[in-house]
Chains A and B, each alone.
Chain A
Amino acid sequence: EVQLVESGGGSVQPGGSLRLSCAASGYSFSSHWMHWVRQGPEKGLVWVSRINFDGSATTYADSVRGRFTISRDNAKNTLYLQMNSLRAEDTAVYYCTRESAAVGTRYMDVWGKGTTVTVSS
């Protein structure tokens, strides 16, 4: 069974840091680009970041660029999101998602259950 399991969420003060992890199983992890998508309390979905197969190419939403870093360890089948200089507006459920491997497509075909990040003093 294809599965994505996020961890690492928690409560942190403004200005603090957290590192999220996403453990992938049931498929060839290195064959797929990966994403982080977040959802604030009672809000919609917002794309955060994307990484290519081997981690050599990354993109970020303007709201997190320079503060968040996406990375992956294909040997461990794990995706990461290092979040620094956290703000109250970063409070959200963070989902790890898999991008389709079909050439020329960019849809997210697998989603994890999410991990909750709360930034508050």
Chain B
Amino acid sequence: DVVMTQSPLSLPVTPGESASISCRSSQSLLDGNGYNHLDWYLQKPGQSPQLLIYLGSNRASGVPDRFSGSGSGTDFTLKISRVEAEDVGVYYCMQGLQTPLFTFGPGTKVDIK
């Protein structure tokens, strides 16, 4: 079975600075068409999760351009440039290629220092 890991699990950030979260998969998430089936979701406090990044590097509709996703295969990164107070919450990566499908990472809690 595929295993998803994230680091760090807790990330205090200073507004205006950048922050990065790593997500690693125990198996490649790159399919034969060149798509990386790795997505990022943000769950703000008291809210349901929302899609941030899909297929590794594509911003979802309405997501600010300070959010970017990169990586391929087994290693992926979510970067937040110029962190704002509204970016606090738990960030989850999720894979949609390997068995079992739709495996989430443990989550990274981002809060303001």
Contact = CB atoms under 8 A, between A and B. Distances in A.
A67 B35 CA distance: 34
Contacts of A112: 48
Contact of B49 (A50, A61, A62, A111): A111
B contacts with A: majority SS: loop
Interface of B: 31, 33, 35, 37, 39, 41, 43, 47-51, 54-55, 60, 90, 92, 94, 96-97, 100-107
A87 B57 CA distance: 38
Contacts of B54: 100, 105, 107, 109
Contacts of B48: 95, 111-114
Given A45-B104, A61-B100, A109 B51 contact: yes
Contacts, number: 64
Given A44-B92, A45-B49, A114-B48, A109 B100 contact: no
Lowest 7 A-B CB distances belong to which pairs?
A106-B96, A47-B102, A107-B54, A107-B39, A45-B104, A111-B48, A44-B107
Given A100-B54, A104-B35, A114-B48, A109 B104 contact: no
A59 B101 CA distance: 9
19 contacts: A44-B104, A44-B106, A44-B107, A45-B41, A45-B104, A47-B100, A47-B102, A59-B101, A61-B100, A95-B49, A104-B33, A105-B35, A105-B96, A106-B97, A106-B101, A108-B39, A108-B51, A111-B49, A113-B47
A72 interface: no
B101 A109 contact: no
A62 B104 contact: no
A105 B54 CA distance: 9
A87 to B, nearest CB: 19
A50 B96 CA distance: 12
Contacts of B55: 105, 107
